[in-house]
Chains A and B, each alone.
Chain A
């Protein structure tokens, strides 16, 4: 994506520096956005490789490829890398690129902090990945790192894991502060809050969620650190602590976290569907209120992850009802997207394909989420593959497809070239089929009684596991095609117009493609 700069660097007074120092020292939101996107894709491939190891081991019953210790390290690292390394940085990358363009700002509000918050990430993940090579291996207690498995019984590398989480937390918090400052202070004259594009709205709310919960994550890992190294017993029953307290604090962070990973995708899809329906978004205001409602509700539902720990019935009922309530605003969003498509003039370029798949598959993930919210039924679903199916249905077609849709939608603006539509549609169909093949059978496995996080399983689960692994390999291999498409698009292709999509609206389409290194030096007027 360096094409952004190269073509414009020479004739521009404040063009980018040359070589490596350009990237190391840059404060340009487009450069930083590019780096975030590249980093997150690298992490996506790394986390994906680990998923391939997991699926290869689960291809058939028996231990073939890895031992249980290593298998547990793979599931843990896969989860951590995908959540903190792939999905979250990808959205920060999109925010960096698009927020200033969408609100008519010259850059992010705090460009130097922006640079720092990016460069912390590679450091954090270098530490995290290096734990794989340490004595005793990488963290092996799942991405939820429940105490006391992660404290008293954790491997020696746990301290490094905690350090890495601290660093990536600081990075996320700085990114969030930057987003808030940019949106609140740098909007073009005339752009009132209720005129903001939805991607800006969803990111504003996401940023507030990040500020609210990332410190809690930092707190919980700090308590772990103290339990492990300083003899405290926050989570150790022998010293008067409570392992269940860990779960409460973790999920107080963890549930808003899942919305952090999905809300920006809601925003992006709310631009893409109207653009390819050639019709304005239905119910803009209710979309904004729905996102706000989801964000608020996300703070009072955490214990639905803990229905089996022995919460008294009053608590079970409260968390069940609160969780079910989230279905209302989520439903409103889905209905709005469908109503936007209804009686539009639809065309199905790659961004739209991913966006439509997002709506359908995310809704399926929402349905299974609703089923999981029913506390008595959750006693059967909890910690089985049904849960694995559920959260992969919300995260893969939700977050990941949302990111792909955004990437195809804005690639022409970033690179100045149109991507190869045929290849992109191939990428879509292979991803779509692979993803469903990988994750749909997991519903059946869970309902038939297969627990999650096991390296080997009973024979009645063999067939669907094999199908699932085939689907996963297919989905994984397909992502190399995406890499090829993006590289091809950066290097050349049909020149993109400033407004490559006839139905798209917004300030980002008023600047030339590729977007010049500096845009909106004078703020545009929004009516």
Chain B
């Protein structure tokens, strides 16, 4: 009963926040902001109009027959049933039209496969259900998670402008530069798509794929994962910010400093309250999708943490499963995904939230040692 009441509530809630005012009635593909996306757009329009023209002719004849050659109008049927010339013609003409279509299509395809020197190389790794971006020439990288609050998804809060198309850490690229993407995946096949760039490529576990783009206009561009990758396939957007070169350079420098700071944070002495605060945040991005915000999980695939043996008993086992994952299950190894600080914070949080009152905490330093000494 309670579930039904909740659902009914959610439904009413959903109806009360009409999204309609924000929606638009876009009918067509948008040209996008790159050379390739513009080429694709014009190709799309050429073929669309060719199809419309063929449609007008074919359906024109058909509707003429429907209106003029009706039995109810007393029309007497003809009796022809073949005409070799006509039949040959309507085999050859479509063939010629296809050749006409194939020429620009081939040209665009050749442009897409251009392998000239790139300015920035970024490795994109698909995870269930987030993207990892690594600036391989610069030695830093980060994860990009959906930042839309769960409350918006569950209709407990009005939906924001970029509902489901917003992330915590967007990919930053410089404008006017050729950016090369190297795509792979950790678990299942994902597909990285930014419509405005005309770039879509599958990220396949164990294999590397490449594609590229050159964005001319600064701006924020949004896309999504386009290969069904499990439960939260609809919740792993791609957000790319194209910024001027100077801004990009400053940002890269900041990232390097931040990475250094993160290492320092590990050495800092953390209090329980600080860890709990940071842990809650880290838990929401890294863990809540499966184990739920209230730790109740979604058994059997995603066990509850609230009141669980792992979170209440042996600390070493808890650290082990978070850092190293559990093979054969959906539990990933977070050791390489989260910083020592976040790992310590999450574990501390899980051991003390939702009535899991162990009072125990683990510090980033301990995690660091755990990872290095074992």
Q: Given A331-B94, A346-B65, A360-B62, check contact A280 B164 (CB 8 Å).
A: no
Give the residue of A285, A327, A340, A380 whose beta carbon is less than 8 angstroms from that of B200.
Answer: A380
- A68-B225 Cα distance, complex, nearest whole Å: 15
- Segment of B171-179, B205-213, B251-259, B271-279 engaged in the interface with chain A: B205-213
Do B40 and A364 touch (CB < 8 A)? no
Do A64 and B200 touch (CB < 8 A)? no
Do B43 and A376 touch (CB < 8 A)? yes
Do A320 and B75 touch (CB < 8 A)? no
Do A459 and B94 touch (CB < 8 A)? no
Which residues of B have CB within 8 Å of A331? 90-91, 94
Which residues of A have CB within 8 Å of B201? 308, 310
Do A451 and B51 touch (CB < 8 A)? no
Which residues of A have CB within 8 Å of B356? none
Interface residues of A in 318-333 (CB under 8 A from B): 320-321, 324-325, 327-328, 331-332
Counting chain B CB atoms within 10 Å of each CB, the highest count among A62, A286, A463 belongs to: A62
Interface residues of A in 17-74 (CB under 8 A from B): 60-65, 68-69, 72
- A344-B68 Cα distance, complex, nearest whole Å: 9
Which residues of A have CB within 8 Å of B225? 451
A-B CB contacts (within 8 Å), total count: 303
Q: Given A371-B47, A376-B109, A462-B20, check contact A72 B66 (CB 8 Å).
A: no
Give the residue of A281, A283, A459 whose beta carbon is less than 8 angstroms from that of B19.
Answer: A459
- A343-B223 Cα distance, complex, nearest whole Å: 51
Do A461 and B23 touch (CB < 8 A)? yes
Do A338 and B98 touch (CB < 8 A)? no
Which residues of B have CB within 8 Å of A338? 58, 61-62, 65
Using a Cβ–Cβ cut-off of 8 Å, how many residues does chain B contribute to the interface with A?
107
Do A379 and B204 touch (CB < 8 A)? no
Which residues of A have CB within 8 Å of B76? 345
Counting chain A CB atoms within 10 Å of each CB, the highest count among B79, B163, B187, B201 belongs to: B163
Give the residue of A377, A447, A454, A460 whose beta carbon is less than 8 angstroms from that of B24.
Answer: A460
- A299-B162 Cα distance, complex, nearest whole Å: 43
Which residues of B have CB within 8 Å of A278? 71, 77
Which residues of B have CB within 8 Å of A282? 80-82
Nearest residue in B to A445 (C-beta to C-beta)?
B26
- A364-B298 Cα distance, complex, nearest whole Å: 43
- Segment of B136-144, B227-235, B317-325 engaged in the interface with chain A: B227-235
Judge if B198 is at the interface, Cβ distance under 8 Å.
yes
Which residues of A have CB within 8 Å of B189? 146, 148-149, 243
Which residues of B have CB within 8 Å of A332? 87, 90-91
Judge if A521 is at the interface, Cβ distance under 8 Å.
no
- A286-B86 Cα distance, complex, nearest whole Å: 11
Do B159 and A356 touch (CB < 8 A)? no
Which residues of B have CB within 8 Å of A335? 58, 90
Do A286 and B195 touch (CB < 8 A)? no
Over the window 256-267 of chain A, the binary record of Cβ atoms lying under 8 Å from chain B Cβ atoms (1 yes, 0 no) is 000000000000
Interface residues of B in 74-111 (CB under 8 A from A): 75-82, 86-87, 90-91, 94-95, 98, 101-102, 105-106, 108-110
Do B229 and A344 touch (CB < 8 A)? no
Judge if A102 is at the interface, Cβ distance under 8 Å.
no
22 A/B residue pairs, CB under 8 Å, sorted by A: A60-B15, A61-B159, A64-B14, A141-B230, A142-B228, A146-B189, A243-B206, A279-B77, A279-B78, A283-B82, A284-B81, A308-B201, A335-B58, A335-B90, A338-B61, A341-B69, A343-B69, A359-B62, A370-B47, A376-B112, A457-B234, A460-B22
- A519-B80 Cα distance, complex, nearest whole Å: 33
Query: Given A444-B28, A460-B26, 11 other A-B contacts at CB below 8 A?
Result: A65-B11, A148-B187, A280-B79, A313-B113, A328-B94, A343-B69, A344-B65, A345-B77, A347-B71, A448-B30, A449-B195
Counting chain A CB atoms within 10 Å of each CB, the highest count among B24, B165, B200 belongs to: B200
Judge if B355 is at the interface, Cβ distance under 8 Å.
no
Do A64 and B43 touch (CB < 8 A)? no
Interfacial residues, chain B to chain A (CB-CB below 8 A): 7, 10-11, 14-15, 19-20, 22-30, 37, 39-40, 43-44, 47-48, 51, 54-55, 58-59, 61-62, 64-66, 69-72, 75-82, 86-87, 90-91, 94-95, 98, 101-102, 105-106, 108-110, 112-113, 128, 152-155, 159, 161-165, 187-189, 191, 193, 195, 198-202, 204-207, 209-210, 222-235, 298, 300-301, 330
Which residues of A have CB within 8 Å of B234? 68, 451, 453-457
Nearest residue in A to B188 (C-beta to C-beta)?
A149
- A279-B81 Cα distance, complex, nearest whole Å: 8
Give the residue of A62, A334, A341, A449 whose beta carbon is less than 8 angstroms from that of B65.
Answer: A341
Do A316 and B78 touch (CB < 8 A)? no
Do A136 and B301 touch (CB < 8 A)? yes
- A449-B78 Cα distance, complex, nearest whole Å: 49
Interface class of chain B by DSSP: mixed
Give the residue of A141, A448, A463 whose beta carbon is less than 8 angstroms from that of B20.
Answer: A463
Shortest CB-to-CB span from A59 to chain B, Å, is 9
Judge if A375 is at the interface, Cβ distance under 8 Å.
yes
Do B23 and A462 touch (CB < 8 A)? yes
- A451-B237 Cα distance, complex, nearest whole Å: 11
Give the residue of A64, A68, A343 whose beta carbon is less than 8 angstroms from that of B155.
Answer: A64
Do B195 and A444 touch (CB < 8 A)? no
Shortest CB-to-CB span from B6 to chain A, Å, is 11
Interfacial residues, chain A to chain B (CB-CB below 8 A): 60-65, 68-69, 72, 135-136, 140-142, 146, 148-149, 152-153, 155, 237-238, 242-244, 277-286, 308-310, 313, 316-317, 320-321, 324-325, 327-328, 331-332, 334-335, 338-347, 356, 359-360, 363-364, 367, 370-371, 374-377, 379-380, 382-384, 444, 447-449, 451-464
Nearest residue in A to B224 (C-beta to C-beta)?
A451
- A149-B185 Cα distance, complex, nearest whole Å: 12
Which residues of A have CB within 8 Å of B22? 459-460, 462
Which residues of B have CB within 8 Å of A447? 26-29
- A461-B234 Cα distance, complex, nearest whole Å: 13
- A444-B27 Cα distance, complex, nearest whole Å: 5
- A277-B235 Cα distance, complex, nearest whole Å: 52
Give the residue of A309, A342, A444 whose beta carbon is less than 8 angstroms from that of B204.
Answer: A309
Do A64 and B62 touch (CB < 8 A)? no
Do A345 and B79 touch (CB < 8 A)? no
- A339-B82 Cα distance, complex, nearest whole Å: 9
- A281-B28 Cα distance, complex, nearest whole Å: 38
Give the residue of B69, B159, B229 whose beta carbon is less than 8 angstroms from that of A342.
Answer: B69
Do B105 and A374 touch (CB < 8 A)? yes
Shortest CB-to-CB span from B146 to chain A, Å, is 11
- A244-B105 Cα distance, complex, nearest whole Å: 25
Give the residue of B26, B106, B330 whose beta carbon is less than 8 angstroms from that of A444.
Answer: B26
Nearest residue in B to A238 (C-beta to C-beta)?
B206
Do B78 and A344 touch (CB < 8 A)? yes
Shortest CB-to-CB span from B154 to chain A, Å, is 6
Which residues of B have CB within 8 Å of A317? 106, 109
Nearest residue in A to B112 (C-beta to C-beta)?
A376
- A213-B94 Cα distance, complex, nearest whole Å: 29
- A69-B228 Cα distance, complex, nearest whole Å: 12
Do B193 and A339 touch (CB < 8 A)? no
Do A375 and B105 touch (CB < 8 A)? yes
Q: Which 8 pairs between the two chains have the least Cβ-Cβ distance?
A: A237-B206, A454-B234, A367-B51, A376-B108, A310-B209, A383-B226, A343-B78, A280-B81
- A457-B164 Cα distance, complex, nearest whole Å: 7
- A374-B195 Cα distance, complex, nearest whole Å: 17
Which residues of A have CB within 8 Å of B161? 459
Do B59 and A324 touch (CB < 8 A)? no
Shortest CB-to-CB span from B165 to chain A, Å, is 5
Q: Given A136-B301, A345-B69, A364-B55, check contact A377 B40 (CB 8 Å).
A: yes
- A229-B13 Cα distance, complex, nearest whole Å: 45
Do A237 and B205 touch (CB < 8 A)? yes
Q: Given A325-B98, A376-B105, check contact A384 B226 (CB 8 Å).
A: yes
Shortest CB-to-CB span from A334 to chain B, Å, is 6
Do A285 and B82 touch (CB < 8 A)? yes
- A431-B341 Cα distance, complex, nearest whole Å: 59
Give the residue of A339, A343, A374, A462 whose beta carbon is less than 8 angstroms from that of B47.
Answer: A374
Nearest residue in B to A337 (C-beta to C-beta)?
B62
